[in-house]
């Protein structure tokens, strides 16, 4: 898909990396755009698929002037993929549920109804916690790695990008959603909620206690855990490669091989 936004693709292939490594990778890509091309935050869209939703959301939570965030088959947290826990634990990874409220930009959530790796309830829960909700895309009959094959996928993504292109700079987002598009029915109907953007979000505090590093693909054996839970996390772990900025790439191999 050809768009007018600065684009960079970051593909980690089959490498097994830690949570902190993925944060460092996406920050490096972001800094490269800023330093090499002088790209401003309001010209950047973060796109995170599956495991990539973790580092994408982490970075988005610290960029109040970011243009938009797309979460493709996201999850609430690593532990919640395996177990229906209601609270966050220090050893959990990619705690998206605890960061989504810090994201100030419009958020598009895409998820398949038949996803047996990350249940669609994860995507719906995250969407419900967004400050700036855009019309979500729940794809009936789609799983974790075939969403891109749906005829509804690209048109909805284009519609989202077209809508955010019409918005003024992020700090005036509330006014734009309330007034600037009142005559644009197709755009207005897609925006679910809006609020004022804050002026700044402090950078990630590297001294704070963060989830311990965990090597994907080597989950611990837990007494009483179901085979389905283990299999889901094994398959999810192989998709670490899906971190990118404003890219519509596909990750198909992990589920196809299972």
- Model pLDDT for residues 127-179, shown as the tens digit of each residue: 999 999 999 999 999 999 999 999 999 999 999 999 999 888 765 444 433 33
Residue 6 lies in a domain: no
Whether 42 contacts 169, CB under 8 Å: yes
Which active-site residues does the annotation give? 50, 115, 144
- Model pLDDT for residues 174-223, shown as the tens digit of each residue: 443 333 434 444 444 566 654 433 333 345 655 444 433 333 344 444 43
Residue 14 lies in a domain: no
Global pTM value: 0.69
Residue 223 in tokens: 């007494």
Residue 12 lies in a domain: no
Whether 70 contacts 108, CB under 8 Å: yes
Whether 1 contacts 47, CB under 8 Å: no
Residue found under tokens 């198909």: 252
Res. 29 pLDDT band, cuts 50 70 90: very high
Name the least confident of 85-89, 110-114, 157-161, 238-242. Answer: 238-242
Residue 63 lies in a domain: yes
- Angstrom CA distances, 136 to 72, 98, 128, 153, 224, stand at 10, 20, 10, 11, 35
Residue 5 lies in a domain: no
Positive/negative CA dihedral, 13, 119, 137, 134: negative
Q: Which domain holds residue 127?
A: 19-204+211-256
Number of structural domains in the chain: 1
CATH number at residue 101: 3.40.50
């Amino acid at each position: 898909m050809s768009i007018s936004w600065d684009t960079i693709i970051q593909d980690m292939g089959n490498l097994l990396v830690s949570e902190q490594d993925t944060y460092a990778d996406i920050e490096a890509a972001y800094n490269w755009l800023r330093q090499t091309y002088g790209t401003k935050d309001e010209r950047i869209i973060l796109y995170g698929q599956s495991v990539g939703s973790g580092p994408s959301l982490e970075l988005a939570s610290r960029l109040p002037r970011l243009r938009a965030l797309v979460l493709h088959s996201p999850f609430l947290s690593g532990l919640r993929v395996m177990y229906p826990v209601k609270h966050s634990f220090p050893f959990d990874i990619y705690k998206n549920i605890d960061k989504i409220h810090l994201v100030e930009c419009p958020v598009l959530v895409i998820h398949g109804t038949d996803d047996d790796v990350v249940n669609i309830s994860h995507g719906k829960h995250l969407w419900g916690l967004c400050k700036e909700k855009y019309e979500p895309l729940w794809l009936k009959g789609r799983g974790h790695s075939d969403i891109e094959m749906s005829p509804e996928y690209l048109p909805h993504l284009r519609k989202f990008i077209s809508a955010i292109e019409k918005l003024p700079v992020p700090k005036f987002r509330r006014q734009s959603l309330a007034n600037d598009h009142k005559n644009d029915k197709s755009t207005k109907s897609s925006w679910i909620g809006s609020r004022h953007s804050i002026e700044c979000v402090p950078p990630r505090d590297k001294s704070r206690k963060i989830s311990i590093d965990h090597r994907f693909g080597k989950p611990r054996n837990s007494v009483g855990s179901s085979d389905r839970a283990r299999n889901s996390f094994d398959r999810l772990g192989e998709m670490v490669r899906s971190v990118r900025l404003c890219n519509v790439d596909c990750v198909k191999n992990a589920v196809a091989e299972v």
